[in-house]
C-alpha cells in the first residue's frame, strides 16, 4: 500500500489591494464631481484695467465684494466667503469695518481690496471705501481684471 504524505504549504500573508484601489477610484470620482459644487464665491464681473498685481510675498488680502444685487461678501485671507448680513447700509458698513479691523489686527499690513461689479453703482463702492478709511484702514485698493 502506498501512502500519500500531505504537503504543508506556508500561509501567505499578503493583503489583496484590489478592493482598496476600487474604493479609491470611486472616491476620486465623487470628489471630482462634488468639488465644483462646493466652490463658493460671489460672482463679480470686475472691470478691466491695467494695474499692478499684489506681490507674491504679500499677505493674503481682505476682500470685500459687491455684486450687482448690492450684496456684500467678505473674504478674509484664506477663509471661506462670508456674506454680510442684510440691514441698513450703515449697519452693513459697520459690520464690514469691524471684520476688516479684526483681520488687520492679526495680519498687519495685509492689503484691503474692494471688488465691485462693473455694473454696481459707483456710489456703493465709494461709500464702502469711505467707511473702511474712516474705520482706520490705512489703504484701500480696487480689484480689477487684467486687460487681455
Q: Is residue 89 part of a domain?
A: yes
**CA–CA dist 95, 43 (Å, integer):** 21
**CA–CA dist 114, 128 (Å, integer):** 8
Q: Is residue 86 part of a domain?
A: yes
Dihedral of CA 91/97/98/100: which sign?
positive
Q: pLDDT band for 41, please (50, 70, 90 cuts).
A: low
* Cα-trace Rg, the chain: 28
Question: What are the φ/ψ torsions at residue 62 (nearest 5 degrees)?
Answer: -95, 115
Q: Is residue 98 part of a domain?
A: yes
Residue 113: domain span: 62-143
Q: Give residue 47's pLDDT.
A: 61
Q: How many domains does the chain have?
A: 1
Can you read off the three cell numbers belonging to residue 109? 499690513
Q: Is residue 130 part of a domain?
A: yes
Percent of the chain with pLDDT over 70: 83
Q: Is residue 85 part of a domain?
A: yes
Distance of CA 81 to the CA centre of its chain: 6
Percent of the chain with pLDDT over 90: 7
Which tens digit of pLDDT belongs to each residue from 100-129? Answer: 888 888 888 888 888 888 888 888 888 888
Asked whether the predicted pLDDT for residue 43 surpasses 70, the reply is no
Q: Is residue 16 part of a domain?
A: no
Q: Is residue 67 part of a domain?
A: yes
Instruction: List the CATH number of the domain containing 127.
Output: 3.30.420.270
Asked whether the predicted pLDDT for residue 51 surpasses 70, the reply is no
| Helix or strand run (H / E) with residue 82 | strand 82-83
Q: Is residue 99 part of a domain?
A: yes
Lowest mean pLDDT among 5-9, 50-54, 95-99, 141-145: 50-54
Amino acid at each position: 500500500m502506498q501512502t500519500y504524505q500531505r504537503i504543508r504549504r506556508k500561509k501567505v500573508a499578503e493583503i489583496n489591494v484590489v478592493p482598496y484601489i476600487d474604493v479609491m477610484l470611486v472616491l476620486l470620482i465623487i470628489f471630482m464631481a462634488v468639488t465644483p459644487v462646493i466652490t463658493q464665491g460671489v460672482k463679480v464681473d470686475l472691470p478691466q484695467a491695467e494695474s499692478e498685481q499684489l506681490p507674491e510675498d504679500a499677505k493674503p488680502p481682505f476682500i470685500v465684494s459687491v455684486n450687482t444685487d448690492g450684496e456684500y461678501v467678505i473674504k478674509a485671507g484664506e477663509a471661506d466667503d462670508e456674506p454680510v448680513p442684510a440691514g441698513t447700509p450703515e449697519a452693513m458698513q459697520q459690520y464690514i469695518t469691524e471684520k476688516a479691523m479684526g483681520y488687520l489686527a492679526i495680519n498687519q499690513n495685509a492689503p484691503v481690496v474692494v471688488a465691485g461689479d462693473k455694473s454696481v453703482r459707483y456710489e456703493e463702492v465709494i461709500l464702502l471705501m469711505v467707511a473702511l478709511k474712516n474705520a482706520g484702514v490705512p489703504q484701500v485698493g480696487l480689484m480689477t481684471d487684467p486687460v487681455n
